[in-house]
Amino acid sequence: MKIHFDTDYMEGAHPTVMQRLLDTNLEQTPGYGTDNYCTEAKAKIRKACGNDNLDVHFLVGGTQTNSTVIDALLSHHEGVLAAETAHINVHESGAIESCGHKVLTLPSHAGKLAPKEVEAYIKDFYADETYEHMVAPGMVYISYPTEYGTLYSKEELQTLHAVCKEADIPLYIDGARLGYGLSSDAADFTLEELPTLCDIFYIGGTKVGAMFGECVVAQPGLLKHFFPLIKQHGALMAKGRLLGVQFGTLFTDGLYLKIARHAVEMAMILKQGFIAKGFTPFIDSPTNQQFFTLPNDVMDRLAEKATFEVWGSRGATHTNVRFVTSWAAKQEDVEVLIAAI
Amino acid sequence: MKIHFDTDYMEGAHPTVMQRLLDTNLEQTPGYGTDNYCTEAKAKIRKACGNDNLDVHFLVGGTQTNSTVIDALLSHHEGVLAAETAHINVHESGAIESCGHKVLTLPSHAGKLAPKEVEAYIKDFYADETYEHMVAPGMVYISYPTEYGTLYSKEELQTLHAVCKEADIPLYIDGARLGYGLSSDAADFTLEELPTLCDIFYIGGTKVGAMFGECVVAQPGLLKHFFPLIKQHGALMAKGRLLGVQFGTLFTDGLYLKIARHAVEMAMILKQGFIAKGFTPFIDSPTNQQFFTLPNDVMDRLAEKATFEVWGSRGATHTNVRFVTSWAAKQEDVEVLIAAI
Amino acid sequence: MKIHFDTDYMEGAHPTVMQRLLDTNLEQTPGYGTDNYCTEAKAKIRKACGNDNLDVHFLVGGTQTNSTVIDALLSHHEGVLAAETAHINVHESGAIESCGHKVLTLPSHAGKLAPKEVEAYIKDFYADETYEHMVAPGMVYISYPTEYGTLYSKEELQTLHAVCKEADIPLYIDGARLGYGLSSDAADFTLEELPTLCDIFYIGGTKVGAMFGECVVAQPGLLKHFFPLIKQHGALMAKGRLLGVQFGTLFTDGLYLKIARHAVEMAMILKQGFIAKGFTPFIDSPTNQQFFTLPNDVMDRLAEKATFEVWGSRGATHTNVRFVTSWAAKQEDVEVLIAAI
Amino acid sequence: MKIHFDTDYMEGAHPTVMQRLLDTNLEQTPGYGTDNYCTEAKAKIRKACGNDNLDVHFLVGGTQTNSTVIDALLSHHEGVLAAETAHINVHESGAIESCGHKVLTLPSHAGKLAPKEVEAYIKDFYADETYEHMVAPGMVYISYPTEYGTLYSKEELQTLHAVCKEADIPLYIDGARLGYGLSSDAADFTLEELPTLCDIFYIGGTKVGAMFGECVVAQPGLLKHFFPLIKQHGALMAKGRLLGVQFGTLFTDGLYLKIARHAVEMAMILKQGFIAKGFTPFIDSPTNQQFFTLPNDVMDRLAEKATFEVWGSRGATHTNVRFVTSWAAKQEDVEVLIAAI
């Protein structure tokens, strides 16, 4: 049987989360997140985020979270600034546009936006005499970690956030893999500091220990009439308590970051293993996604033992590939992979 | 502690479903429904529906299923015919319109559309010289059971389906509570016959034994490019196998209808209990939702023991209320309720 | 050759308007309404409306004006309250829904909304515990005159406006035929008073003397970022001055109401003529649209001389028909029609 | 008084067109393009386009034409391929996205798409295993002339059309300035050949002699249910005959191309004048738009005599500017401009 490094959503839920779902399974609670499990989980998340006034909402999946949040934040004449490589620009089947909004793209620097380029875009936009015929930049979207596993430094976020404040538009962070970023040695800020570095973000559950679920955390007052919008976007879970139970468990005793840290450690072993065998990553990622260019014969040999993702298309002699570890990754599997190089 | 008859999504998953989720929890499978659990579950559902060629898709929730299916079936200039009381017209926060489609309403007859009125609407529409300035009827939406717990007879469905065929538009059945309809003594057709009575329907999981999940079943070729549309609507589950595992379990050994039947039996005991105490239902429902008009003092006394839904608003002397039983309902709770009248 | 009473947009522009278009035809002006003709026309319209601070915009046609204004005023979770017979609900091919908004219908009373019913709808909406699952009433749409030629009294508008203010939602008046309402003997308020009776309205040009064009008049600050929205809706005219020239002419020396008055006078002669011959209008309209139920043989005889609109479909013995006069209607034609009865 | 080279929609209608509007002004015709003027104009246009079976529709403006056509051609999961500089991507305030569709951008080569790059994009798209999570290329949009005044050769169009046919997606040409392209010496095909080089295009009226109006010409059967879609997009003119009268006049005795040719000739004089004075165009345009980089002092001196458009923003020492001639341009004005350099 092969070992798997395709992605971080191949397993179900972390056993502790699963156990809580099992323990509470036959309880009866009111729907749509009005239950006590949700209330308690929200309180725990506010605490972990260092601000008891934060606005917290649970949704089911990442694409629907992005499209609901972005739809909530933008006016009709506005679009969302994002890197060309942004998930919303590439891999969401046009979900943002299907809600009527344009994705305004800027160059990707290993998955990241350059604050200077955001600033210049906004300045140039309003300097253009015909700007009212164009889509206004209405918010900035980034991901942390990015789609390439890279991380913004605290200073980069502060600079980008200052650019957004100056333009009076919100900064939104897609945290589908937030745990794998915050628990990396390369992270120079904590979850508690995150709400001071942006206006709104989501804590990814699906990829970090939950069976499913994403948790939106926003500055108070930013999201208006968000409940009906969640419903309209088909993102409102009838049995809302399932999300409360899961996030409540993940935010008890630091489980969320603890299990994320494990994935990152496994990724670092994997990375060092490849480097030791003489391969250089084409992106230097400090998180749970690792990117290497492999000679095709090496890749093909590995593919006999393991599954992983071809990044782009197969090259003539060398091919880019991605290896991903999850909270459930086993060190022995990583070792088998390295041994197989 | 109170007993609960508010709705049928207050518990988690049926224990057998939960056990399967637990058993498979740490397995690794590819995402987005490309796994074997989904493949097997689809085969079982095709078999239960009597046609191996049916097109089967798993989505997460009811509102998103309705909006994705309706968006897939309608052209830009078309709307969906539905009863005024239809869930899509009343309780989905405008999800259908947010995708650009008008809900064209017809009178509700205890939650049901009258095939004659649908036929007349379509005929009158095309008889109007200005019809190209109006929204064309592009499909028909009904629910089975309806939002009032009522059921269409086989003959009514055949007539309505014939009207749709004549107009060359699809008939879509919202089966959020499908099991509670098919397992009622009043149902005069089976799941196996259902695909011959309409063009597309969904088998509700959330309200009938699953933790969450809805299963769309369509005539082959009807849904084009449905996968990217599911993604675009935020209705694509990353860990798609969770849906396969659940529906596979529900469609093994007839579990789905067996547990639905239990809920209906409990509802019949409840109904007879109220009738025996001298109350008449204001809607004669043969399924798991029961509707009574109660004197306010009786209602208030019951409310000390049980929770249930006020249907509309409280009246001066009498009030309409709804009691719902689920697959997990306990006979002793029903008896406590009746004793409390 | 037949005479025509089909509708009020069968001719081109009023000769005075046409002459101004001719006089200015080869002038060069900047585009998109930034020219002096627009500036001057807006000033004249503000003056005619009794408030120099009103926000004035020119668009090309009625449906696009409705969809642009409604899109500008509603949030994602809101819909527009309107009579079942409202143009936006019936005859705009789903333009409102195509922008994502639901039309929330109330009964039509000869084309009019009853303020009490609007008030009750809003009250009931927020009294419903599940209201966040429903589309919120976000504005009220009425037409003046209505699609049935009827008029709201000043008191009715004041009451309706008070209901809207209480609910903190704007009242919007579709004035496609505004001139034919204000110049009727039945109108009990003036254009100068109109801005105090609602929040936003449009002055119809297409049907009242212009070649084309509609003029939106709004309370200052109500419409935000309206220019890019006009562009986005395809409603921004490159040669914007064409609208300025036309409206400037219509609002010089009271031309707009003067020519509208003529149409209403012709309609009154027509109405009295039919009544004198023993027919009773099925709607008592004081404006330029007249509605009669005619025996089919009378209708068929008239149809040899004149064109007019069958209202609905032909009946077995009697049929409803509509006759419309425009600013260009000739009294001799009206007399020929009456003589032919 | 200054002379104007800002753009080609600064005047009203060509005098012959204006005269026809005047001549027919008080005639009564039925609405929405069902009149004889429209019928006759469509016949003339089909003839000019060399195919009596072509599908012809009249709309009012360019942005609304683009958004209506693109909305008609795309399915929900598809986007439109266009150059980064395409009008739909830059200057339509998000009209395409507001209808739910993504603009998929490719590099601009002086405003043009490279057929090879279109081919590669489509091939790569379907080679990507995750393509169902991405927006499919559903059509190709180009402009002729482009936003930079440049022209595709017949061979380039044939190659691009072949790429589209291979991918089974339509090729759409935005012909806002079509006349100025076809009447250029650099054009190596005729209007009669155009329908064989693409699937659908529009003949721009607003910028080429009409007061307003655009004429969509499509292969038969390509546009389905287009009438209600025009209405829904607010692009249906009540007095449709205004468009018929104008296009009928423009396509009588070759007026359309004759007046376009005049503009191009004026542009060539202007271009040669600048070159003779030692300036090199930064884009070599053979049509009515001309692009030069000028030292700021030269530009400022010109600006005292003439208006024109700064292309982008003012540079430190040199600035890009655009000069546009229209069908109404006067040779003496061009000479005054050149003399002023």
Residue C313 confidence (pLDDT): 80
- Contact B228/D100, CB-based, under 8 Å? no
SS3 A207: coil
Residues 248-287 of chain A with CB under 8 A from chain B are none
**Mean local confidence (pLDDT), A292-309:** 96
Angle at which helices D241-250 and D15-23 cross, to 10°: 140
Using a CB–CB cutoff of 8 Å, tell me whether A303 touches chain D. no
- Burial pattern B61-89, b for ≥16 Cβ within 10 A else e, equals bbbbbbbbbbbbbbebbbbbbbbebbbbb
* ipTM at complex level: 0.96
- Among candidates C9, C18, C29 on the partner chain, residue whose Cβ is nearest the Cβ of D22: C18
- pLDDT tier at C258 (50, 70, 90 boundaries)? very high
- Contact C24/D12, CB-based, under 8 Å? yes
- Contact B130/C98, CB-based, under 8 Å? no
Residue C260 confidence (pLDDT): 98
Question: Nearest CA to CA, how far is A318 from chain B (Å)?
Answer: 25
A147 with A114: CB under 8 angstroms? Answer: no
Q: What is the CA radius of gyration of chain A?
A: 20
Q: Which residues of chain B lie closer than 8 angstroms to D229, CB-CB?
A: 76-77
- The label of the residue with tokens 């789903």 reads C94
- Among candidates D98, D133, D312 on the partner chain, residue whose Cβ is nearest the Cβ of A100: D98
- B132 to chain D: closest CA residue: D228
C183 with C264: CB under 8 angstroms? Answer: yes
- pLDDT tier at C341 (50, 70, 90 boundaries)? confident
A and D: number of Cβ contacts within 8 A: 62
- For residue C332, the tally of other CB atoms under 10 A from its CB is 9
- Reduced 3-state DSSP string for chain D: CCEECCCCCCCCCCHHHHHHHHHCCCCCCCCCCCCHHHHHHHHHHHHHCCCCCCEEEEECCHHHHHHHHHHHHCCCCEEEEEECCCHHHHCCCCHHHHCCCCEEEECCECCECCHHHHHHHHHHHHHCCCHHHCCEEEEEEEECCCCCCCCCCHHHHHHHHHHHHHHCCCEEEECCCHHHHHCCCCCCCCCCCHHHHCCEEEEECCCCCCCCCEEEEECCCCCCCHHHHHHHCCCCCCCCHHHHHHHHHHCCCCHHHHHHHHHHHHHHHHHHHHHHCCCCEEECCCCCEEEEEEEHHHHHHHHCCEECEECCCCCCCEEEEEEECCCCCCHHHHHHHHHHC
- For residue A17, the tally of other CB atoms under 10 A from its CB is 25
Q: Which of A4-18, C86-100, C277-291, C301-315 shows the lowest mean pLDDT across its residues?
A: C301-315
Residue B289 confidence (pLDDT): 98
**Mean local confidence (pLDDT), B92-110:** 97
- Contact B75/D224, CB-based, under 8 Å? yes
Q: Of D181, D174, D244, which Cα lies nearest the Cα of D212?
A: D244
Question: What is d(CA C210, CA A158) in angstroms, rounded to the nearest whole number?
Answer: 55
**Mean local confidence (pLDDT), C296-322:** 93
Kindly report, residue by residue over D3-33, the tens digit of the pLDDT. 999 999 999 999 999 999 999 999 999 999 9
Using a CB–CB cutoff of 8 Å, tell me whether D168 touches chain B. no
A and C: number of Cβ contacts within 8 A: 43
Cα A108–chain centre separation: 16
Q: Which residues of chain D lie closer than 8 angstroms to C93, CB-CB?
A: 228-229, 231-232
- Contact C231/A76, CB-based, under 8 Å? no
- The label of the residue with tokens 């709705």 reads B7
Q: Of B53, B38, B81, B55, which Cα lies nearest the Cα of B244?
A: B38
For residue C320, what are the β-bridge partners?
C293
Q: Which residues of chain C lie closer than 8 angstroms to D99, CB-CB?
A: 98
Question: Is this model's pTM higher than 0.90 or not?
Answer: yes
pLDDT at residue C312 tops 90: no
pLDDT at residue C170 tops 90: yes
C62 with C206: CB under 8 angstroms? Answer: yes
- Among candidates B72, B100, B132 on the partner chain, residue whose Cβ is nearest the Cβ of D227: B132
pLDDT at residue A217 tops 90: yes
Question: What is d(CA D313, CA D319) in angstroms, rounded to the nearest whole number?
Answer: 7
Please, which chains are in contact with B (at least 3 CB pairs closer than 8 A)? A, C, D
**Mean local confidence (pLDDT), D202-228:** 98
Please, which chains are in contact with A (at least 3 CB pairs closer than 8 A)? B, C, D
- C13 to chain D: closest CA residue: D25
Kindly report, residue by residue over D126-158, the tens digit of the pLDDT. 988 899 999 999 999 999 999 999 999 999 999
- Burial pattern C304-325, b for ≥16 Cβ within 10 A else e, equals eebbbbbbeeeeeebbbbbbbb
For residue C227, give Cα distances in angstroms to A77, D68, D161. Answer: 9, 20, 36
Cα A31–chain centre separation: 27
Question: Nearest CA to CA, how far is A90 from chain D (Å)?
Answer: 6
pLDDT at residue D290 tops 90: yes
Token reading at D233: 């997009």
What is the biggest distance separating any 2 CA atoms in chain D, rounded to whole angstroms?
62
Residue C314 confidence (pLDDT): 85
Question: What is d(CA D206, CA C238) in angstroms, rounded to the nearest whole number?
Answer: 8
pLDDT at residue B129 tops 90: no
Kindly report, residue by residue over C8-45, the tens digit of the pLDDT. 999 999 999 999 999 999 999 999 999 999 999 999 99
Using a CB–CB cutoff of 8 Å, tell me whether C73 touches chain A. no
Q: Which residues of chain D lie closer than 8 angstroms to B75, CB-CB?
A: 224-225
Using a CB–CB cutoff of 8 Å, tell me whether D6 touches chain A. no
pLDDT at residue D341 tops 90: no
- For residue A317, the tally of other CB atoms under 10 A from its CB is 7
Residue A240 confidence (pLDDT): 98
- Burial pattern D148-168, b for ≥16 Cβ within 10 A else e, equals bbbbbebebbbbbbebbeebe
Residue D300 confidence (pLDDT): 95
Using a CB–CB cutoff of 8 Å, tell me whether A312 touches chain B. no
Cα D46–chain centre separation: 19
Q: What are phi and psi of C142, to 5 degrees?
A: -135, 165
Residue D129 confidence (pLDDT): 85
Residue A272: exposure state from Cβ atoms within 10 A (0-12, 13-18, ≥19): exposed
Q: Of B327, B309, B227, which Cα lies nearest the Cα of B267?
A: B327
Is the CA virtual torsion A46, A51, A52, A57 positive or negative?
negative
DSSP A72-89: HH--TTEEEEEETT-HHH
- Contact B97/C102, CB-based, under 8 Å? yes
What percent of chain D is modeled with pLDDT above 70?
A: 100
Kindly report, residue by residue over A150-185, the tens digit of the pLDDT. 999 999 999 999 999 999 999 999 999 999 999 999
Using a CB–CB cutoff of 8 Å, tell me whether A238 touches chain C. no
Kindly report, residue by residue over D83-109, the tens digit of the pLDDT. 999 999 999 999 999 999 999 999 999
- Contact D101/A94, CB-based, under 8 Å? yes
Residue D312 confidence (pLDDT): 80
Kindly report, residue by residue over C195-251, the tens digit of the pLDDT. 999 999 999 999 999 999 999 999 999 999 999 999 999 999 999 999 999 999 999
- pLDDT tier at D315 (50, 70, 90 boundaries)? confident
Q: What is the mean pLDDT of chain C?
A: 97
Q: What is the mean pLDDT of chain A?
A: 97
Residue A313 confidence (pLDDT): 81
Please tell me which residue, C152 or B1, carries the higher pLDDT value. Answer: C152
Kindly report, residue by residue over B259-305, the tens digit of the pLDDT. 999 999 999 999 999 999 999 999 999 999 999 999 999 999 999 99
What percent of chain C is modeled with pLDDT above 70?
A: 100
- Among candidates B10, B12, B238 on the partner chain, residue whose Cβ is nearest the Cβ of A9: B238
Kindly report, residue by residue over B311-341, the tens digit of the pLDDT. 888 889 999 999 999 999 999 999 999 999 8
Question: What is d(CA A260, CA A270) in angstroms, rounded to the nearest whole number?
Answer: 16
pLDDT at residue A312 tops 90: no
Using a CB–CB cutoff of 8 Å, tell me whether D93 touches chain C. yes
Question: What is d(CA D341, CA D338) in angstroms, rounded to the nearest whole number?
Answer: 5
pLDDT at residue A1 tops 90: no
What percent of chain D is modeled with pLDDT above 90?
A: 97
In a 13 Å sphere around the CA of B167, the CA atoms on its Cβ side amount to 25
Q: What are phi and psi of A37, to 5 degrees?
A: -60, -40
Q: Which residues of chain D lie closer than 8 angstroms to B77, CB-CB?
A: 225, 228-229, 232
